[in-house]
Amino acid sequence: MTTHSPSRTLTVAVVTPIDAELVEPIRAVADGVEVLYEPDLLPPIRYPGDHQGVEGFSRDPDSERRWQELLASAEVLFGIPGDSPSGLAAAVRSNPRLRWVQGTAAGTGEQVKAAALSEEELERVVITSASGVHVGPLAEFCLLGLLHFTKDVPRLRADQHARHWDHYPVAELRGSTLLVLGLGAIGTEVARLAKAFGMHTIGVNRRGVSDSPYVDEVYSPERLHDVLARAQAVVVTLPMTEETEGMLDADAFAAVRPGAILVDAGRGGVIDESALAQALREQRLKGAALEVFATEPLPTDSPLWDLPNVLISPHTAALSTHENERIDELFTENLRRYLRGEELLSRVDTKLFY
């Protein structure tokens, strides 16, 4: 990446809904930064941090003309138009001056893959994700899932509903073994929180190594079945790639330690959901807390909806009222790097698409 000349203006277009007060820090990065922000051209949001907007949003002819002019004038985009692969592809192909797009999702790589951009387009336009922004909320969800089943919340809820009073011992996280599949920022934070609860932590990643002080043992995927047999809890934070697709299949669930808890906060396609449902029915797994699914929304005929030992989150655990503030911080840091010609944070790998 070449250094940006301070003698010319760098035009940044904000193409995703954000609060007006978050625009000023972008302008303040450097004198030569021009920020185009026209909130009336952006869709109304459904909730704080919504980057797609209300369904069915459209612009009148004059607004559409202004929108296209805004997209065509930018060297940098904050956000992906429409938060969709088609919006990304259209923006890249309609503006030969475009050089960088900052996505707002940790899974921006999947949007890039679905956009089917050419090698030349991927060479011309750098795309960065919001990887790291959602670490805290997702790690908290993982601990929620572990505690939900360790403390047997389903039984508590059932007894409350039945007005049933009984005494019985409850398991603890302390002293148990947690297997974390994927040791990126989220997986490493899960391990840190798990150590605070007194858990023994095992990690699995591509290289089989980690410098995190919160991971007690690390293995490559070839050892997966061996470590599944040791863990009372398994947390998945893996991206979706050719290597990870279907990693937790029927054979993996056959190897799992009976009574283990599963939490998936990575990507749904990593798990064979039919095999998962069978393991849950047979109570080989005590329970599963699922934030992501192979098909979203989760089809209404999925057996996962009706299983009492499943906690379903509609891919919403990463959302936070502070999300846009953190994306803004990431973008402004990347903007400084862009102006200096330095490598950008969370750049999407256009071979692996994460």
Q: Which residues are catalytic?
A: 267, 296, 315
d(CA 128, CA 102): 5
The set of long-range contacts for 189-193, using a CB threshold of 8 Å and a minimum separation of 24, is 189/135, 189/136, 189/139, 190/139, 190/142, 190/143, 190/235, 190/237, 191/215, 192/139, 193/139, 193/140, 193/142, 193/143
Q: From CA 161, how far away is CA 275, in angstroms rounded? A: 30
Please say whether the beta carbons of 288 and 311 come within 8 A. Answer: yes
Q: Are 67 and 44 in contact (CB under 8 A)?
A: no
Show the tokens assigned to 141.
């969800």
Burial of 65-99, coded b for 16+ CB within 10 Å and e otherwise, reads: eebeebbeebbbbbbbbbbebebbbbbbeebeebb
Q: Which two tokens stand for residue 200?
A: 């023994």
Core vs surface per residue 152-172: b (16+ CB within 10 A) or e: bebeeeeeeeeeeeeeeeeee
- Which tokens go with 180? 């974390």
Residue 213 burial (C-beta neighbours within 10 Å; 0-12, 13-18, 19+): exposed
Characterize the bridge pairing of strands 260-264 and 310-312. unpaired
Q: How far apart are CA 55 and CA 44, in angstroms?
A: 9
Nearest Cα residue to 139 out of 337, 320, 326, 352: 320
CB 85 within 8 A of CB 115: yes
Please answer whether residues 246 and 270 qualify as being in contact, where contact means their C-beta atoms are separated by less than 8 angstroms: yes
d(CA 151, CA 349): 40
Helix (H/G/I), strand (E/B), else coil: 261: strand
